[in-house]
């Protein structure tokens, strides 16, 4: 009887443990994009009505009047970023996932403290996991200068259910007029040109116009959770409709990384964790399904599940030029690379072309379909980003910007090795074993 009583008492705990396990390994449900008629094709990304479909299903509103500048490495990004921060007059909001002590962290602290002492309202939100390398002294120095500092989802025994859901977001908004997002972090490994060892290759965007309000709203959602304060009104949401003169400047034809466009139709997509279908997966499914000519994906952590593997295969088989660029031997997460490689044979057999970046770690997260619709931001092509993380992406529909992102993709291919189907099939059995082992862990990597 005593044994039976123990079993009965343990059943609720076992049930809760099972529920928790299922929650931590959940995936995304979408397998395909369908229309009302089996014979009707998915909406094309170039179709005027596609933006409305995107808004309804992915909660991103595309508006005209944005100035967008693509920044492809630390040498492109940080001079512009620190120039804008130093020029702030009213407010700075900064939300960052990855931060580590070093030259960039010191420079950021200096400019934020200087602006706060000058009377600028400075709010900073740091992911408790990604920024754990920053010392208490670092944050105390910010607070002493008047910078408001908050941690996003610190690990606490009474809130363990939140610990697995991280804020992978990058937000910098200056005076509610200039916004930045992308894959960059505050760590010296992002310095450089992205073409040499230990100088990470990343893609970021600087933008002005209505899309800045969407980025500020993304920050406001995280700040409300971390502090209890919901930001609104001045100085956070005043008119951001006028793009600055820099965004209207024409790009140099010799270097696609200098591309700048004005009057871009764009908006910010904030992806947040949920149970079931997510904004992130709906967006990717719509873009893949809507491509007709080309689909170029650059992603640091490319680990498509069964559904997305099938979607990419179908796109290639209907004649779309599908190309994937992902991390090579210099990856910072070898387990994720092996897991992604487990899908290469299926993709290559269907006509998808795959490259791996060689000089250094490629950390970019971009997608562009038919050289007209795409995104730049923080979202990886893996289960963690689509299900468990908060992410921020600038989504656009613009021919000039689309061509510029295509040009950047093709420039990166010159530094990459293409994976050939016949050669890849002859890889050692030890690699195959590692791929299968890590593929079984894809929902928790």
Q: Please give the model's pTM, rounded to 2 decimal places.
A: 0.91
The C-alpha atoms of residue 317 and residue 305 are separated, in whole angstroms, by 18
Residue 259, pLDDT score = 53
Residue 104, pLDDT score = 97
The C-alpha atoms of residue 128 and residue 153 are separated, in whole angstroms, by 6
Q: Is the dihedral of CA 295, 296, 298, 304 positive or negative?
A: positive
Please state whether the peptide bond connecting residue 32 to the residue before it is cis, i.e. omega within 30 degrees of 0. Answer: no
For the record, the structure tokens of 202 come out as 């990343």
Residues pairing with 353 in the sheet:
323
The C-alpha atoms of residue 168 and residue 190 are separated, in whole angstroms, by 16
Residue 1, pLDDT score = 64
Nearest to 327 by CA among 366, 376, 361: 361
Whether the CB-CB separation of 313 and 407 falls below 8 Å is answered with no
Helical residues (DSSP H) of 228-325, grouped into ranges: 279-290, 306-317
Whether the CB-CB separation of 26 and 443 falls below 8 Å is answered with yes
The C-alpha atoms of residue 389 and residue 366 are separated, in whole angstroms, by 17
The C-alpha atoms of residue 311 and residue 305 are separated, in whole angstroms, by 10
How far is residue 385 from each of residues 211, 265, 366, 426, 445, measured CA to CA in Å? Answer: 22, 25, 13, 31, 10
> How many CB atoms sit inside 10 A of residue 265's CB?
19
Non-local (6+) Cβ contacts of 221 within 8 A are: 270, 272
The C-alpha atoms of residue 119 and residue 92 are separated, in whole angstroms, by 11
Domains and CATH numbers, the chain: 50-241+255-439 (3.30.870.10)
Nearest to 315 by CA among 297, 354, 285, 289: 289
Q: How many residues does the chain have?
A: 445
Whether the CB-CB separation of 205 and 70 falls below 8 Å is answered with yes
Beta strands 63-71 and 260-271 are antiparallel
The C-alpha atoms of residue 65 and residue 248 are separated, in whole angstroms, by 11
Residue 23, pLDDT score = 65
Residues pairing with 297 in the sheet:
324, 367
Beta strands 353-357 and 321-327 are parallel
Q: Tokens 């290639």 label which residue?
A: 316
Whether the CB-CB separation of 398 and 235 falls below 8 Å is answered with no
How far is residue 352 from each of residues 298, 381, 417, measured CA to CA in Å? Answer: 13, 16, 15
How far is residue 303 from each of residues 148, 350, 445, measured CA to CA in Å? Answer: 37, 17, 10
Residue by residue, DSSP assigns 341-366 as: HTTHHHHHHTT-EEEEE-SS-B--EE
Residues pairing with 375 in the sheet:
367, 395
Q: For residue 195, count CB atoms less than 10 angstroms from its CB and return exposed for 0-12, middle for 13-18, buried for 19 or more.
A: middle
Residue 275, pLDDT score = 83
CA 364 to chain centre: 8
The C-alpha atoms of residue 298 and residue 326 are separated, in whole angstroms, by 6
What is the DSSP secondary structure assignment for residue 56, as one 8-state letter?
H
Residue 16, pLDDT score = 64
Q: pLDDT tens, position by position, for the chain (445 residues)?
A: 667 777 767 777 776 666 666 667 788 888 888 876 655 677 899 998 999 999 999 999 999 999 999 999 999 999 999 999 999 999 999 999 999 999 999 999 999 999 999 999 999 999 999 999 999 999 999 999 999 999 998 877 666 667 778 889 999 999 999 999 999 999 999 999 999 999 999 999 999 999 999 999 999 999 999 999 999 998 899 764 444 434 333 333 344 444 556 899 999 999 998 888 999 999 999 999 999 999 999 999 999 999 999 999 999 999 999 999 999 999 999 999 999 999 999 999 999 999 999 999 999 999 999 999 999 999 999 999 999 999 999 999 999 999 999 999 999 999 999 999 999 999 999 999 999 999 888 877 7
């Amino acid at each position: 009887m005593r044994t039976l009583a123990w079993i009965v008492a343990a059943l609720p705990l076992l049930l809760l443990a099972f529920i928790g396990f299922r929650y931590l390994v959940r995936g995304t449900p979408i397998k395909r994009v369908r229309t009302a008629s089996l014979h009707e094709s998915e909406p094309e990304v170039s179709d005027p009505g596609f933006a409305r479909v995107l808004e309804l299903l992915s909660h991103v509103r595309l508006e005209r009047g944005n100035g967008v500048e693509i920044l492809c490495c630390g040498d492109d990004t940080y001079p512009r970023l620190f120039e804008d921060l130093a020029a702030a007059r009213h407010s700075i909001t900064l939300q960052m996932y990855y931060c580590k002590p070093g030259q960039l962290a010191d420079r950021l602290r200096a400019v934020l403290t200087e602006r706060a002492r000058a009377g600028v309202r400075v709010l900073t939100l740091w992911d408790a996991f990604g920024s754990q390398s920053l010392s208490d002294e670092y944050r105390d120095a910010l607070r002493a200068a008047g910078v408001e500092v908050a941690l996003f989802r610190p690990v606490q025994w009474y809130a363990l259910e939140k610990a697995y859901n991280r804020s992978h977001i990058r937000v910098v908004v200056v005076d509610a007029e200039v916004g930045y997002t992308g894959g960059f972090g505050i760590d010296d490994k992002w310095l450089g040109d992205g073409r040499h060892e230990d100088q990470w290759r990343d893609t970021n965007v600087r933008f002005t116009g209505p899309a800045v309000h969407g980025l500020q709203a993304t920050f406001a959602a995280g700040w409300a959770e971390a502090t209890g304060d919901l930001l609104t009104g001045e100085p956070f949401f005043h008119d951001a409709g006028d793009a600055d003169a820099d965004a209207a400047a024409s790009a140099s034809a010799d270097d696609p990384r200098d591309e700048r466009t004005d009057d871009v139709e764009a908006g910010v997509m904030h992806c947040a964790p949920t149970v079931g279908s997510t904004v992130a997966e709906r967006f990717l499914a719509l873009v893949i399904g809507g491509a007709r000519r080309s689909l170029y994906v650059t992603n640091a952590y490319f680990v498509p599940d069964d559904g997305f593997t099938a979607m990419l295969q179908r796109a290639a088989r209907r004649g779309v030029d599908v190309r994937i660029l992902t991390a090579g031997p210099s990856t910072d997460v070898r387990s994720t690379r092996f897991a992604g490689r487990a899908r290469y044979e299926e993709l290559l057999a269907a006509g998808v072309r795959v490259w791996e970046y060689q000089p250094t770690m490629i950390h970019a997260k971009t997608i562009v379909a038919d050289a007209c619709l795409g995104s730049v931001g923080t979202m990886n092509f893996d289960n963690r980003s689509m299900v468990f993380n908060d992410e921020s992406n600038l989504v656009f529909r613009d021919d000039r910007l689309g061509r510029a992102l295509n040009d950047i993709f093709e420039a990166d291919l010159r530094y990459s090795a293409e994976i050939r189907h016949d050669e890849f099939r002859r890889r050692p059995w030890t690699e195959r074993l590692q791929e299968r082992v890590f593929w079984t862990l894809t929902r928790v990597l």
